[in-house]
Amino acid sequence: MREADPKKQMCLNEKCKDFGRKNTGNIIKKGFNAKGNQMFKCKTCGVRFPETKGTVFYNRHLTEDQIIMICKLLVEKNGIRAIERIMEIHRDTVSSVVEDLARHAKEVTDFLISNVGLTKVEVDEMWSFVKKTKRSCRRRRGSR
Ligand SMILES: [Zn+2]
């Protein structure tokens, strides 16, 4: 069984002064959620969140924060090219993240609602936008 390590977790509350910082000693284990996942608590702000290790939010090229940022930009209906421009990340990397997100749609939906604070409606809109974006990417590639 995988040992959940508080040192590898970070606070996901944007308003917290330890937001996104690892190994600051502010994260402690705090029980389990309904699905049996280890929960953690940030001592700085008191927010509880599930373990994030091994989820779609871990990417070879990007940090979890960057992936969450991509989700937020998608919610605001920014396409792959817009995200490339805003975040200065190559569009191939952005589209591979988007593909990854779509593959783990259920997990991503739960995460965005419970950890990032998006609403169900916003996440649903993000998915329909992602579907359109993926279609138009393929069309562009095919016409080259
Ligand atoms: Zn915190």
* Per-residue model confidence (pLDDT) at position 1: 42
Q: What is the 3-state secondary structure (H, E, C) of 125-139?
A: HHHHHHHHHHHHHHH
Residue pair 93/62 in contact (Cβ under 8 Å)? The answer is yes
* pLDDT on residue 3: 60
CA–CA dist 123, 74 (Å, integer): 9
**Which residues lie across from 28 on neighbouring strands?**
41
What are the residue boundaries of the structural domains of the chain, listed by start?
6-50, 64-142
Q: What is the pLDDT of residue 20?
A: 76
Residue 117 zone, left/alpha/beta (φ > 0; ψ -120 to 50; rest): left
**Ion ligand 1: residues, Cβ under 5 Å:** 11, 13, 16, 18, 42, 44-45
Residue by residue, pLDDT tens for the chain (144 residues) are: 456 788 878 887 778 898 878 778 999 999 988 777 788 999 999 988 877 544 567 677 888 889 999 999 999 999 999 999 999 999 999 999 999 899 888 889 988 998 889 999 999 999 999 998 877 666 555 544
Q: How far is the CA of 128 from the centre of ligand 1 (A)?
A: 31
